[in-house]
Structure 1
Amino acid sequence: MDSSPPPSSPSSASPAAAPPGTSTSVYRHGGFLSFLTARLVAVIATQVQAVVVAWQVYDLTRQPLALAWVGLAQFLPMLVLLLPAGDLIDRVSRKPILACSWALGAVCSALLWWLSGHGHAGVNGIYAVLVLFGCSRAFSGPALQSLLPQIVPRAQLAQAVAANSMLMRGAAIGGPFVGGVLYALGGGELTYALCAVCFALGTLLLARVAVAYAAPRPQHPAPMWQRFGAGIGFIRSRPIVLGTISLDLFAVLLGGVVALLPIYAQEVLHVGPQGLGALRSAMAIGEVGAGLYLSLRPFDRHVGRTMFAAVAVFGVANLVFSLSTLFWLSFAALLVAGAADMVSVYIRGALVQFSTPDEMRGRVNAVNMLFIGSSNELGEFRAGTSAAWLGAVPAAVLGSVCTLAVVAGWMAWFRPLREVDRFEDATGG
């Protein structure tokens, strides 16, 4: 948003305008389009591989618990490595870290391809590769989030966040379908080979991405424990950052209903597997639709109140779904919940980026990803155990009410977050 040449630190840029010659649309930014294309092929590879691995592991074991180990094998290394990864990302160039992470992803896909043709290796070999893949994701996740503000000017950052979020949801819809079709056509070997090619292609495309807005790296970094402390201290001292990432943690942890959809489809709505598929797609359709709108027409006024309103709408929509016995109403409620969630994701992502100086983004985004991963994993566990204790409908209703309570509490406790008007106002929050 600065009319001068690219600043040394994006966080200190003037909020006036983008550099001369910069288009108002992020889709006309060559570096961002290259980044978006590279990420698209890498995300599709990740989604396709996830479906095929789960199918293959279950086919080998016929044990539902084996699927839990698939998730755990990837989540545990991420849990251990995310904070060190965030610290490294703040000290060295981010693009090479991302390229190395995707290259390691290609290696993992190649190993899965080899294992797929050697059945005697068994499921333990697949778990070992998934641990390695989880290590690569621990670095690629925060590197991706931290690299984006170094590619586009601040004037286009909010729009870039919306486009990036829409891409993720679109890949989450199409990737599993593509994976299932490829596995049916050629089995695991063909699918893993294509995943390896996609990761390699993403790595090559990343080389075309220009990093024009990077801050100078520290020449004499403090010891690691001090750097960790500085990152945590920064988050604690910024109500906007702490409120934003903790709101996501507790809203998803307490209010998510995705894990209960099979129960609702069978026992409440009586719609069978086709209806379950429609319900699972409803929220994603709402997210993609809202994300597309925001990427074309981003807004930058009353963002704090709008974010809280979006999370409240998410809670109300989930409450409607929880009480509904009509399929069309349940579908519409999930559609609205998805759209509201995307608005919240857009604002939360932009607020974290605008509030965080470039030299701190790796650590902050690592903590943010840790919160998001924990909320998703623990949220499904919370929903399942609550349904087992209380029943599916009471558990869903309770979770929705808790989400609304979190919104009310966070609006009272994080007043600076509630009062943010423009994204630029969050710089010192």
Structure 2
Amino acid sequence: MSGTAAEQSRARSPRPGRQALRTLGNRNFRRYVIGQLVSNVGMWMHRAAQDWLVLQLTHHSGTAVGVVTALQFVPQTLFGLWGGVIADRYHRQRLLVLAQSLMALQALLLGVLTVNGTVRIWHVYVLAVALGAATAVDSPARNAFIGDMVGRDRVPSAVSVNAAQFNAARFLGPAAAGLAIASVGTGPVFFLNAASYLAVLAALLTLRTSELHPPPPPAPHGVRLADALRHIRCTPGLLLPITLAGVIGTLGLNFQVTICLMATTVFHSGAAAFGSLSSAYAAGSLLGALRSADRARPPTLRQLLGAAAVFGVLEAAVGLMPSPIAFAVLLVATGIAAVLVTTTANAMVQLNSDPGMRGRVLAVYFLVLLGGTPVGAPLVGWVAETLGARYSLVLSGLACLMATAVIRLSAVPGLLMVRPAASADPAPRSATGQR
């Protein structure tokens, strides 16, 4: 390659990390991400300690652990769409302060009950529902607020940076919880989680409101869920990513089940090996988020479908790996592809949605991405029990690959390479509050 060509290539390919650093140069977003990282580490510590507490209270009942996990997701599944309506109707920053405060209070109460020795299993169940109810409001508001902080141009990178901090917390939190439980017991871990919410609350309360990009005021007829559903149905740039996310979320993202089954029934390993394999997937997820954070341009449907096809192939291939080491190596690659799919779909949904409907559209997106787990996880488990753990991965990967092919064939001609239209986001408010 000539010197001139090489210089042009370098100009077209920015140095790794440049886009992410530019996005983190936004003061509001930087403070928010740091606060979220601290809070999410505490949240993952809380989940691990909660599972341990349930096992202690129920004499190691796996069913009880499953019930607690389900109770946390039930409110989001049932009322998550209405959480999107609330996110579009009310001031998102204040809404997040309220939701995060309620989540901190839930952790504090569970810590008090545990330390006092008065905790009962029904307390854990009730508080799990309370946490799920707060999350149903927090999730759409939190994700829509990303665009409010960084503006439309930085949404793809900001979504990926946010995913990176979440996966970093998922990697660090359970390990920190294990050390904390061994050192000080289960109760203090809940106190640590309650305290971790102070970081994100401090960030939210100290944002420069003059630099935000707030959505337009609600329409005269009010904020209606039906309007957002019609918007999704009539916008291929929303309908296709959300449909693909629903299929992959239901059939492909069940690694908490498949990794466990592969470790125990195929490789005949113990808990340590299971933990290592789970960490391999988490490490890949973190790498995928960091990679996607360097996007300089909005994603296209072609890029989303390409990432989904690679994910389907990798998931099918990982089920054929002959040894735990080969399985772990390919899990890293699979984790990278999985996060590339979800961050690309998330960015497309945010960019293609009307700013005034972003909360409701994101609520639909996360409902189909996460709401299929109660269906997909038992189905994948049944396939593993009937045909073997390897088949559960192979068939899941092939199903995702087929869904990608169907969506590719049904895409509107010309849509594959079309990037989202120019920004419709409002300008930041001035110091006087005017746009």
Contact preservation (8 Å) 1:257, 1:318: no
Q: Distance in 2 between matches of 1:47 and 1:423?
A: 35
Contact preservation (8 Å) 2:265, 2:389: no
Q: Distance in 1 between matches of 2:50 and 2:113?
A: 11
Flag the 1:118–1:416 CA change in 2: closer, same or farther, 3 A.
farther
Aligned residue runs from structure 1 range 168-183, under 5 A: 168-183=166-181
Flag the 1:240–1:31 CA change in 2: closer, same or farther, 3 A.
same
Q: CA deviation at 1:416?
A: 6.1
Q: Distance in 2 between matches of 1:316 and 1:141?
A: 30
Q: CA deviation at 1:137?
A: 0.5
Flag the 1:415–1:329 CA change in 2: closer, same or farther, 3 A.
farther
Q: Distance in 1 between matches of 2:377 and 2:228?
A: 29
The equivalent of 1:13 in structure 2 is: none
TM-score, structure 2 normalization? 0.87
Flag the 1:147–1:328 CA change in 2: closer, same or farther, 3 A.
same
Contact preservation (8 Å) 1:253, 1:376: yes
1:104 aligns with 2:105: no
1:185 aligns with 2:183: yes
1:367 aligns with 2:354: no
Q: CA deviation at 1:411?
A: 0.8
Q: Distance in 2 between matches of 1:371 and 1:199?
A: 27
Q: Which SS does the other structure have where 1:209 is aligned?
A: coil
1:394 aligns with 2:391: yes
Contact preservation (8 Å) 2:254, 2:373: no
User: Residue deviations 1:76-104, cap 9 Å, x none?
Assistant: 12222212211111111101111100000
Q: Which SS does the other structure have where 2:319 is aligned?
A: helix
1:27 aligns with 2:24: yes
1:322 aligns with 2:341: no
Q: Distance in 1 between matches of 2:138 and 2:368?
A: 16
The equivalent of 1:213 in structure 2 is: 213
Higher mean C-alpha deviation, range 23-32 or range 52-61: 23-32
Q: Which SS does the other structure have where 1:109 is aligned?
A: helix
Q: Distance in 2 between matches of 1:417 and 1:93?
A: 37
User: Residue deviations 1:342-369, cap 9 Å, x none?
Assistant: 2212211111111012110111111112
The equivalent of 2:192 in structure 1 is: 194
The equivalent of 2:76 in structure 1 is: 78
Q: CA deviation at 1:279?
A: 1.5
Flag the 1:418–1:342 CA change in 2: closer, same or farther, 3 A.
farther
Unaligned runs of 5+ in 2: 1-18, 425-435
The equivalent of 1:284 in structure 2 is: 282
TM-score, structure 1 normalization? 0.88
Aligned residue runs from structure 1 range 218-229, under 5 A: 218=218, 220-222=220-222, 227-229=224-226
Percent of matched pairs sharing the same residue: 25
Q: CA deviation at 1:403?
A: 1.1
Q: CA deviation at 1:424?
A: 4.2
Flag the 1:89–1:264 CA change in 2: closer, same or farther, 3 A.
same
The equivalent of 2:158 in structure 1 is: 160
1:306 aligns with 2:292: no
Contact preservation (8 Å) 2:76, 2:136: yes
The equivalent of 2:5 in structure 1 is: none
The total of aligned residue pairs comes to: 402
Q: CA deviation at 1:266?
A: 2.6
The equivalent of 2:131 in structure 1 is: 133
Unaligned runs of 5+ in 1: 1-21
The equivalent of 1:56 in structure 2 is: 53
